[in-house]
Structure 1
Amino acid sequence: MTKPYYGQLEEEKVFKDPVHRYIHVRDELIWALIGTKEFQRLRRVRQLGTTYMTFHGAEHTRFNHSLGVYEITRRILDVFHGRPHWNGEERLLALSAALLHDVGHGPFSHSFEKVFDTDHEEWTRQIILGDTEVHDVLANVSPDFPQAVADVIEKTYSNKLVTSIISSQIDADRMDYLQRDAYYTGVSYGHFDMERILRVMRPMEDQVAIKQSGMHAVEDYIMSRYQMYWQVYFHPVTRSGEVILTKIFMRAKELYEQGYAFKHEPKHFYSFFNGKGSLDDYLRLDEAITLYYFQIWQEEEDRILSDLCVRFCNRKLFKYVEFNPNLQMNDWLVLQDLFRKADLNPDYYLVVDSSSDLPYDFYRPGEEEERLPIHLIMPNGKLRELSRQSDVVEAISGKNEPIINSIFRLIA
């Protein structure tokens, strides 16, 4: 009989980490999950997709990030230990969900999902509940443990406090990716005093709250997120790379549907072209496989697929201009005409793309999506919503930044 993974390792394992210095693993369960092939696959999926085309250091992976989220969650739970509202029996559940929250991400995740109409969260669920090494390890804790982990990640678990540690407006996921992405891109925007925030976090009945004395550290965190989105995540060069990447997937799918004879058959993608990708098919995909196809498709007879792959592999990206569709729609139509006359298919070489972000929001009754606000614990013990106490946060809360529309187009 397999030994259940709920004890402690004889000796603590550590990962040297550039962001958190060390990542500590003391539980047999966590060590076993890290060793599964589904989790190890994350070493071959970049955290930031095409951002490496803009910031050459951005080569870190979902594996790095997942370990980081686990480590922050571990530190949070050390702070929570013995406090009211925290049930220590849910410690392994929170740690497992933190580690596995991104296990379903695929190659260049968001572009892949857009073209093939898939969802990394659904793949995460299948990995946790399906016939996988991850499921076998989790089920060794108890038969219902895999479902509980899936529920935490899906935000349907009964104890909202556990969910909020990993998914809220101030959670272990965001605190890791902001610092990690800042480190690997070389920018200064994503840094904030995480140690201070962890010290003032407190478990409440259904969410994590922050002592009022830590408000300024939280303000710094929110502004870091604001800056990272506009300076890194929405960078136009990165978006141009994503546009070309999406168009490569679209062209390959269209050619397959037309019966095109590929010189190099994209066998790894056939089931997704047909809308029938299985979990096994998905787990065989990583960015090494995807980039292999992009490399060999440069030699395809189809001019569009070949050209797009040459551009992606050699960073010959589309140029961009800002575009206001309300004022410039006639320009868009003229451009489409000009591209057709130049024998350039506007479906592939002329793209409108947009970005927007909501740095912080609060719940409004009646809205479809509930946004759990950040609450401060005041000296009298009562909770107060952050934007009502902080002038800095109030200035940006509940306000979508203007959507930045850009036209990405080929410039010869």
Structure 2
Amino acid sequence: MAYATQKLAEEKVFKDPVHRYIHVQDQVIWDLIATKEFQRLRRIRQLGTTYLVFHGAEHSRFSHSLGVYEIVRRMVDDVFANRPEWNKRERLVALCAGLLHDLGHGPFSHAFEHVFDLDHEYFTRAIILGNTEVNEVLRRVSKDFPKKVSEVIEKTYHNKQVVSLISSQIDADRMDYLQRDAYFTGVSYGHFDMERILRVMRPQPDQIVIKSTGMHAIEDYIMSRYQMYWQVYFHPVSRSAEVILRKTLERAKELYHAGYTFKHDIAHFHSFFENDVQLDAYIAMDESIILAYFQFWMSEEDAILSDLSQRFLNRKLFKFVEVDPSKDWEKLIRLEKLFDQAGIDPNYYLVMDSSSDLPYDFYRPGEEGERLPIYLQMPNKELSELSRSSDIVDAISGKRRTDHKLYYPKDLLHEEHPLHEQIIEIMHA
């Protein structure tokens, strides 16, 4: 029997709080899960610093990746199985892409990427195509199979229908993380009727569309996404922790280039500080490594590195005020000068952070970040862009919400500080 079609002697199942069970029948999938690169995802939290706000948010990229795989499996094995518009030969590449789509995420994901100018999608492809256990498993299917899986994740695969299962405005990735993140944070915003959405999905050439009778389930999904972004993903306290994480890593990098002698060897960070990150070093980096170094750095002689490290580990976070960069730029300049006078480095202790989200956007050719719309299949089989039929979606289409906050250490600006009143007055003006 060819490896691509080889089934396990007995189906394996993972107990899962979101999908109840995750079913594995294919030898390829079972072997991929066992690779060291996939097991590494157990040591990468799905929500980065959010566990410092929602204490239950300790779930990993590993569990999310299994969840995405399971939703794709249900799509291709149950929903699309007998539909002529779905090519059954694409089944395995869709399953593998769903399972491996987050393989390249680094520790604390986006904050880590920001400091070291990295791209997790690049490393996902590098792991799939490089000298790795994952690549070795995929090559057992065929020599070009790793390239196919990589192309699905890169969104360049010739069959856009397969790509849309993993990456679109309504895909397996979003459907899992909204429900999973809602479950582990304990909020109610991220819940929607996935069973209904799966039932009304219809494969079409180059895309997946939604039967018009399922429009209200899609509305609920989009509003759930909107609420999760502003109530969980962009939570201001979580962003404070992310700011401190970023600044801690930036301080360590600055000290390294200044020739500072660290008390503990920083072997894991050498290639990151030198902007020459090799695949082996990237795979070896996870959140347990970051947290261990933060423990070491708490005892460093550099006051800023020591302070920022203990703030993150002990949750002594920055406070924040709302700002409008277009109007408050003079205020920001004055605050920077006052922080300097107060002996508080504004590069590390006065930080602007912005968040922005577009809950639903229809296709606008040539625009940055353009997205394919969600189409409804009407009773006459014609397709209608979602916002044309839904007043709810139309009301939020193309409307980007942006939020700016200025983070600072209120505890350092105690009332006895000679510049306290002046700084606080400007801060809240």
Please, what TM-score do these two structures have when normalized by structure 1?
Answer: 0.98
| Structure 2 counterpart of 1:129 | 129
Alignment map for 1:203-242 (pairs within 5 Å) = 203-242=203-242
| Structure 2 counterpart of 1:33 | 32
| Structure 1 counterpart of 2:6 | 7
CA shift, 1:368, in A, is: 4.2
- How many corresponding residue pairs? 410
| Structure 1 counterpart of 2:156 | 156
| Structure 2 counterpart of 1:92 | 92
| Structure 1 counterpart of 2:427 | none
Runs of 4+ in structure 1 off by over 4 angstroms are none
Q: Equivalents in 2 of 1:102, 1:123: separation in Å?
A: 9
CA shift, 1:141, in A, is: 0.2
Report if aligned partners of 1:357, 1:400 keep a CA contact under 8 Å in 2: yes
Q: Equivalents in 2 of 1:326, 1:194: separation in Å?
A: 41
Q: Equivalents in 2 of 1:193, 1:4: separation in Å?
A: 36
CA shift, 1:277, in A, is: 1.0
Report if aligned partners of 1:387, 1:397 keep a CA contact under 8 Å in 2: yes
Q: Equivalents in 2 of 1:313, 1:5: separation in Å?
A: 46
CA shift, 1:136, in A, is: 0.3
CA shift, 1:192, in A, is: 0.2
Alignment map for 1:14-163 (pairs within 5 Å) = 14-77=13-76, 78-163=78-163
Q: Equivalents in 1 of 2:14, 2:274: separation in Å?
A: 41
Report if aligned partners of 1:38, 1:103 keep a CA contact under 8 Å in 2: yes
CA shift, 1:3, in A, is: 7.8
Q: Equivalents in 2 of 1:162, 1:41: separation in Å?
A: 26
Report if aligned partners of 1:339, 1:346 keep a CA contact under 8 Å in 2: yes
Q: 1:160 to 1:128 in 2, by over 3 A?
A: same
Q: Equivalents in 1 of 2:179, 2:284: separation in Å?
A: 30
| Structure 2 counterpart of 1:406 | 405
CA shift, 1:84, in A, is: 2.3
SS of 2:3 mapped into structure 1: coil
Report if aligned partners of 2:4, 2:92 keep a CA contact under 8 Å in 1: no
Percent of matched pairs sharing the same residue: 68
CA shift, 1:326, in A, is: 2.0
CA shift, 1:375, in A, is: 0.3
SS of 1:326 mapped into structure 2: coil
Aligned residue type for 1:409 = Y
Q: Equivalents in 2 of 1:179, 1:291: separation in Å?
A: 28
Report if aligned partners of 1:298, 1:306 keep a CA contact under 8 Å in 2: yes
SS of 1:10 mapped into structure 2: strand
Q: Equivalents in 1 of 2:198, 2:11: separation in Å?
A: 22
Q: Equivalents in 2 of 1:31, 1:155: separation in Å?
A: 25
* Range with bigger deviation, 330-339 or 373-382: 330-339
Over aligned residues, Cα RMSD in angstroms?
Answer: 1.0
Aligned residue type for 1:320 = F
Report if aligned partners of 1:5, 1:32 keep a CA contact under 8 Å in 2: no
| Structure 2 counterpart of 1:284 | 284
State whether structure 2 residue 311 is matched by structure 1 residue 323: no
After superposition, what is the alpha-carbon deviation per residue over 1:38-62, rounded to whole angstroms, capped at 9, x for unaligned?
Answer: 0000000000000001100000000
After superposition, what is the alpha-carbon deviation per residue over 1:134-180, rounded to whole angstroms, capped at 9, x for unaligned?
Answer: 00000000000000000000000000000000100000000000000
Please, what TM-score do these two structures have when normalized by structure 2?
Answer: 0.94
